[in-house]
Amino acid sequence: MRIKIKLLGEENGLAYTVKIFVPADDFCECWIVDIKDTSGRQRHLKLHAAQTWSFHNRLMRYGKKKPCENLVKTATDMGYIAEAKELGAPFDTLYGGFGISDKTNALTEKRVEKKLCTHKKDPAVYKDFVYHPVHLYSDMILNAGETVTRTVISAASDRIDDVLASMEKYADCDTAGRACDATVERYDREFDINTCTLPDKNLERFLNTWLKYQLGLTYIYNRNSQTGGFRDVLQDCWGAMLIRPDYSKERLMEALSHVYSDGHSMRGYDSYAGLTDPDDFVDCPLWAPCSVAQYLKETGDFAFLDISLPYFDTEQTESVERHLWRMLEHAYNKRGANGLVLMRDGDWLDGLSGVDQNGTATSAWATMQAFWAQNIMAEIYDAVGDAQKADILRRRSEEYKTAVRSEAWDGKWYVYGFKSDGLPIGSSKCREGKIYLNPQAWALLTGIEDDPARISSIRRSVNTYLTTVFGPLLLYPPYVNDTTCGRLSGQIPGTFANAAVYLHGGTFKVFGDIAAGEYDDAYDTLMRLLPNHTDNSDSRRTSEPWCTGNVHFGPDNPCFGMNLFTWFTATPAWLIHAGFGRILGVEAEFNGLRIHPRVPSDWNEYSMKRLYRGKTYILNFRRAGDGERVGIYRGSRYIAENILPMNSDEGVYTVIY
């Protein structure tokens, strides 16, 4: 997936079109500018292109780079080149290029370098950010009614030959136009893989376009293998499989190669620079079975399990399957006296980092996650015929279930976990942080809680304490005086994890509502997590109206509703699966497509196109009339109740629900 933006306008007798795109296999961003005279007279114009480059240091927690100490500027026949030296590994030099096609004026350069953002604690780490403005001009004569085209190219690489080649290639307007068309065709082809037509046109647009767009940009540019956390990469892989499954294979292999031989993983890695964050978060490796299972279901590529991969800390190599097994065993073998898994350096809720003071703090939520991950892995073993390992994992999952239900139930809801001193986190006994969202949502979505009375109590508690127009709060009430619950208890009330609306956590509630059979509530929560819901789409929003955020300030903050970190979240991955898979009810399985609509009660019909293992299926859904048999039909022929077998012919099917 690549970026393509088109801007249109007309002013002072000039009509213009600007197309912005990133070519698939080159090192640049390209702008195609068409300018047309509408005044009926000859014009002398000067196209002005300005750009500011920012050369700065990027680091992970345990890796430092040298600052940008030297910046060399050079004018060339093609435009402008900047050479930033001594950046440190992986780059000794980074090159930037900036040019305009048919440039007739010499470049001008504002010789201004603003050095900002010195790191107060360690100036050697973030020495400075160097901002360098450059201006280019192109003169042109525009005859009456004529259209002229110019391209503006901005390139960057650690090899100057790449920069120069990209600038020269896309200075040709015809080449740039063909590349733009190819980008759009690829973009449309990938977006067309899974689509829907719904009564709710807003949800339809987000599932068909905007969530895919955000997920693709996040997956490729923002949280890729150069900048991603371990769990971020795995969840983004999972989401991207509904755009193009083959995106994820290489990324999964790379992530699994950053697992240690004992089965734990690092918190994050930059494979390009060779930097890592070795913090041992219990949840990170436990996302892997879900992502691998989705890849196997979508592709049928079971040979993937046999691929030999290294571990991060040893020359030893083992299969993908053994990597997954070691991950699950590590969590199982690292449990507290109460049977819950140890929290170690932290889990999904980063703000609880620091709770574990002596190695005995436990996480009820992470135990639910381990239960979920083991059951998914057991399904993989069922699919490949390894009943022995499947049975081992299911027996261990029963141990998790017993521990969670007996140790973590607080009377009306589940606690989040227990600190090193044995005191609970997220209990009715706590004055602050009495109830957390995640253990309630995961108790339902994993099936670890199956008592109807407890399920009703959980849902009632969430609705009472955590509901807002923006989606559910992550916890309530905020921490103000209690400083014993990690760094989140030091956060300003209503921000980040401290009683704010964390959208990723809200997606867990969508899955939990569906598991509880509350489809209208699931739909309502999902819609509130979108950026243009009518109840929450107002001036407090700071992001684009088509892009989901990471977190909204909570009601205990004067900025209630303001959102942050739009482009760094797993929210679109979870929303796209919640929409296509859980609500519309079409999910890939090992033996076919599972069809189980869970749509709002006032939806009577909708349709979906689904690509599955090279075949395209058109599924037309209709609510059952009196006496009609629920199930999947090919014409008038009944196929099955809820599984469309993988050997089914592609084409049109009717689903009566």
User: Is the model more confident about 170 or about 90?
Assistant: 170
Which band of pLDDT confidence, cut at 50, 70 and 90, is reported for residue 6? low
191 pLDDT higher than 60: yes
Asked if 393 contacts 467 with a C-beta cutoff of 8 angstroms, the reply is no
User: Is the model more confident about 382 or about 57?
Assistant: 382
What pLDDT score was predicted for residue 416?
Answer: 98
196 pLDDT higher than 60: yes
pLDDT in tens, 448-474: 999 999 999 999 999 999 999 999 999
Q: Which residues make beta-bridge pairs with 115?
A: 130
What are φ and ψ of residue 439, in 5° steps? -65, -25
Cα–Cα nearest to 622, from 610, 633, 611, 637: 633
pLDDT in tens, 206-217: 999 999 989 888
188 pLDDT higher than 70: yes
Under CATH, to which class is 586-656 assigned? Answer: mainly beta
Instruction: Write the CA distances from 502 to 393, 522, 532, integer angstroms.
Output: 31, 16, 17
- Amino acid 527 reads M
Which band of pLDDT confidence, cut at 50, 70 and 90, is reported for residue 225? low
User: Is the model more confident about 50 or about 637?
Assistant: 637
How far apart are the C-alpha atoms of 429 and 567, rounded to whole Å? 37
Cα–Cα nearest to 233, from 244, 246, 224: 224
What are φ and ψ of residue 545, in 5° steps? -75, 0
pLDDT in tens, 513-542: 999 999 999 999 999 999 999 888 776 777
* Mean pLDDT value across residues 367-371: 98
Asked if 180 contacts 153 with a C-beta cutoff of 8 angstroms, the reply is no
What pLDDT score was predicted for residue 64?
Answer: 52
* Mean pLDDT value across residues 133-152: 90
How far apart are the C-alpha atoms of 29 and 53, rounded to whole Å? 13
pLDDT in tens, 98-121: 999 987 665 665 444 444 444 444
Which structure tokens are listed for 210?
A: 């905007």
617 pLDDT higher than 70: yes
* Mean pLDDT value across residues 419-432: 96
What pLDDT score was predicted for residue 27?
Answer: 86
Which band of pLDDT confidence, cut at 50, 70 and 90, is reported for residue 132? confident
What are φ and ψ of residue 211, in 5° steps? -65, -35
Which band of pLDDT confidence, cut at 50, 70 and 90, is reported for residue 5? low
What pLDDT score was predicted for residue 260?
Answer: 97
Which structure tokens are listed for 478?
A: 């905020």
In the chain, what are the domain boundaries? Answer: 4-190, 586-656
Centroid of chain to Cα 58: 21
Q: How many residues does the chain have?
A: 657
166 pLDDT higher than 90: yes
What are φ and ψ of residue 44, in 5° steps? -110, 115
Say how many CA atoms lie within 13 Å of 331 toward its Cβ.
37
pLDDT in tens, 45-97: 988 888 887 765 554 444 455 555 666 777 777 788 888 776 655 567 778 88
129 pLDDT higher than 70: no
Asked if 492 contacts 478 with a C-beta cutoff of 8 angstroms, the reply is no
Max distance between CA atoms of the chain, in angstroms, equals 85
1 pLDDT higher than 80: no
Which band of pLDDT confidence, cut at 50, 70 and 90, is reported for residue 560? very high
Instruction: Write the CA distances from 313 to 14, 265, 304, 344, integer angstroms.
Output: 62, 10, 22, 19
122 pLDDT higher than 50: no
Radius of gyration in angstroms for the set of CA atoms belonging to the chain, rounded to a whole number:
27
Percent of the chain past pLDDT 90, that is, above it, reads: 71
The answer to which of 125-139, 223-237, 377-391, 584-598 has the lowest mean pLDDT is 125-139
How far apart are the C-alpha atoms of 550 and 133, rounded to whole Å? 31
123 pLDDT higher than 70: no
Instruction: Write the CA distances from 287 to 264, 306, 569, integer angstroms.
Output: 12, 19, 15
Query: Model pTM?
Result: 0.90
What pLDDT score was predicted for residue 227?
Answer: 58
- E strand segments, 57-165: 70-76, 79-88, 91-100, 114-116, 129-142, 147-157
The answer to which of 260-269, 340-349, 433-442, 560-569 has the lowest mean pLDDT is 560-569
How far apart are the C-alpha atoms of 131 and 110, rounded to whole Å? 11
The answer to which of 11-20, 73-82, 293-302, 514-523 has the lowest mean pLDDT is 73-82
Asked if 579 contacts 210 with a C-beta cutoff of 8 angstroms, the reply is no
| Mean pLDDT, rounded, of the chain | 90
- Angle, to 10 degrees, between the axis of helix 247-256 and the axis of helix 230-240? 160
Asked if 367 contacts 342 with a C-beta cutoff of 8 angstroms, the reply is no
What pLDDT score was predicted for residue 55?
Answer: 63
43 pLDDT higher than 80: yes
